[in-house]
Structure 1
Amino acid sequence: MSILIKKLSDNKFEITVKKQPITKHIVLLTDEYHDCLTKKKISKKKLLEYSFQFLLDREPNTSILSSFELDIISKYFPEYENEIKKFLYKKIEE
């Protein structure tokens, strides 16, 4: 399984999850939310990659919304933002 990320604009990305069946998702990620979550320590693409891995650890790719704003993840998975912070902390330690 792989996750491909294509930048459509500054805030809009197409994510392809190459797992049968292959799914495509349009995700909006604002600069404000990116900065709030990561303090710009990682790129938007890296945040999206980690976010999709987070989702795929919890549900099949066919259950992920086809179009959404990244901040909605925390409405379904309240632990999401804390997990991002843990991920960033580990990255800084490496």
Structure 2
Amino acid sequence: MIKVQRVGEGEFEVVVRDGNGESRHHVTMSDAKGKQLTAGKHTPERCIEAAFRFLLDREPKESILARFDISVISRYFPEFEQELPRYLTRL
């Protein structure tokens, strides 16, 4: 389960729970970046949830950074922005 909660302007707390416990993450994302990633079709919360689904398909929750800006995902996974629309439509 992925729970995304807005805690400030462009700031989100994310909790990822599975059978092995939970991890907590603080994620930032500007409005402009959110609109770019979703073509303006989805909420920031949905974008971040889709980004976490993308990440969890590639690494365990414990390997995801505790604090990061959404833009850094592409540094680790260059295919992120290309793959994200598929994750947005799967939610």
- RMSD (Å) for aligned C-alpha atoms: 1.2
Q: Scaled by the length of structure 2, what TM-score is found? A: 0.89
| TM-superposed deviation, 1:86 | 3.9
Paired residue for 2:41?
41
Secondary structure of 2:8's partner? coil
Secondary structure of 1:8's partner? strand
Consecutive unaligned residues of structure 2, counting only runs of 5 or more, are none
Alpha-carbon distance in 2 for matches of 1:54, 1:87: 7
Task: Specify the code of the residue in structure 1 equivalent to 2:9.
Answer: D
Q: Scaled by the length of structure 1, what TM-score is found? A: 0.87
Paired residue for 2:69?
69
Asked if 2 retains the 8 angstrom alpha-carbon contact of 1:5 and 1:14, the reply is yes
| TM-superposed deviation, 1:59 | 0.1
Consecutive unaligned residues of structure 1, counting only runs of 5 or more, are none
Paired residue for 2:26?
26
Q: Which structure carries more strand by proportion?
A: 2
Alpha-carbon distance in 1 for matches of 2:15, 2:87: 22
Percent of aligned pairs with the same amino acid? 36
CA gap 1:87/1:21 in 2 versus in 1, 3 angstroms: closer
Number of positions where the alignment pairs a residue of Structure 1 with one of Structure 2: 88
- Report which stretch shifted further, 78-87 or 45-54: 78-87
